[in-house]
C-alpha cells in the first residue's frame, strides 16, 4: 500500500516471531502537497490512488517502458540539445554574433535547459519505477502527465515566446536571461523532488529512514523540491477540469495546511 496521506511513512519488518512497525519522520512538504491532490485529480481512481508503482506494474507499467524512460528518452533529448548547440556555434554567419551579443548566453542556454528539464522528468519516472517501487503510483502518474506532458508543453511555449521576443526586440535580452535562470531553477527543483521521492520510498520495502534531525543537505533538498511540487499542484488545480466545488475547497484546504 502507498504511504498514508497524513504525512508519515510506515515501514514493516517481519521477524521470525513478530512484525515490528517503524514509523519514520513526516514526509517532506513537497510530497505531502502532491499526495493531497493525487487522489482527487481527474485521472485518479479509487484503485490507483492506493497503489504503489510496484503494485501497479503488474497491470500497466512495464520494466521495458521504465528503462526507456530512464535511458533511451533522456539520451535522445541530450543528443538533441548537443546537436542544436553545435549547429548554432558552428554557424559562421550568425553563430558567433548571436553568442557574443547581449543575452547570448541565454539564447544558447534556453533550448539546452528545456531539453535537460524534459530529460530529468523522464529519467526520474524511470528511475523511481525501477529503484523505488513503493512510490505511490498517483505521484508517479502526476510526474509524467503533468510534469512532462503538460508543464513541459507550457515551458516549451514560453521559451519559444521569449526566444522570438529576443529576436524581434534587441532590448529584450534581460527577459531571456531571467527566463534562463528560471529554467535552471526548475531543473534543480525537479532533481530535488526526484531525490525527495527516492529518499522517502527508495531502498528495501519502504524507503530510507528519515532522521529526527535532518542534515543541512536534506533540508536544502526538501526546500528546493517544494517549488516544483507547488507548480504541479497549481497546474492541476487551475488547468484540470475539477468540477466539484467541494473537491476544489478540499484541495485549497490541504494546500493551506501543507
Mean pLDDT score of the chain: 74
Q: Which helix (H) or strand (E) holds 219?
A: helix 216-239
140-170 burial string, b = 16+ CB within 10 Å, else e? bbbbbbbbbebbbeebeeebeebbeebeeee
Domain ranges of the chain: 27-257
For Cα atoms 225, 229, 234, give the angle at the middle one, nearest 5 degrees.
150
pTM, entire model: 0.77
From 19-23, 102-106, 204-208, 245-249, the region with the lowest mean pLDDT: 19-23
Task: Tell me which residue of 245, 33, 45, 47 sits closest to 143, measured CA to CA.
Answer: 33
Per-residue pLDDT at 11: 44
From 60-69, 148-157, 192-201, the region with the lowest mean pLDDT: 60-69
Stretch 55-65: mean pLDDT, rounded? Answer: 73
119, 188 Cβ separation under 8 angstroms: no
pLDDT at 154 over 60: yes
Percent of the chain's residues with pLDDT above 90 = 21
Amino acid at each position: 500500500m502507498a504511504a498514508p496521506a497524513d504525512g508519515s511513512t510506515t515501514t514493516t519488518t517481519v521477524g521470525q516471531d513478530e512484525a515490528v512497525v517503524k514509523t519514520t519522520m513526516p514526509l517532506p512538504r513537497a510530497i505531502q502537497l502532491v499526495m493531497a491532490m493525487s487522489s482527487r485529480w481527474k485521472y485518479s481512481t479509487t484503485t490507483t490512488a492506493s497503489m504503489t508503482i510496484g503494485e501497479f506494474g503488474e497491470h500497466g507499467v512495464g520494466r521495458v517502458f521504465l528503462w526507456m524512460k530512464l535511458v533511451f528518452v533522456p539520451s535522445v533529448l541530450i543528443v538533441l540539445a548537443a546537436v542544436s548547440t553545435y549547429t548554432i556555434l558552428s554557424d559562421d554567419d550568425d553563430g558567433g554574433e548571436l553568442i557574443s551579443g547581449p543575452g547570448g548566453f541565454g539564447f544558447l542556454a534556453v533550448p539546452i535547459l528545456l531539453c535537460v528539464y524534459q530529460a530529468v522528468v523522464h529519467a526520474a519516472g524511470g528511475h523511481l519505477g525501477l529503484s523505488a517501487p513503493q512510490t505511490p503510483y498517483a505521484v508517479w502518474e502526476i510526474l509524467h502527465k503533468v510534469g512532462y506532458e503538460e508543464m513541459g508543453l507550457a515551458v516549451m511555449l514560453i521559451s519559444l515566446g521569449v526566444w522570438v521576443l529576443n529576436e524581434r526586440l534587441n532590448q529584450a535580452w534581460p527577459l531571456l536571461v531571467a527566463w534562463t535562470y528560471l529554467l535552471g531553477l526548475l531543473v534543480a527543483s525537479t532533481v530535488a523532488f526526484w531525490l525527495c521521492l527516492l529518499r522517502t520510498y527508495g531502498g528495501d520495502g519502504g524507503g530510507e529512514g528519515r532522521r529526527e534531525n535532518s542534515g543541512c543537505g536534506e533540508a536544502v533538498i526538501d526546500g528546493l523540491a517544494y517549488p516544483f511540487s507547488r507548480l504541479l499542484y497549481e497546474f492541476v488545480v487551475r488547468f484540470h477540469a475539477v468540477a466539484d466545488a467541494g473537491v476544489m475547497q478540499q484541495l485549497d484546504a490541504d494546500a493551506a495546511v501543507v
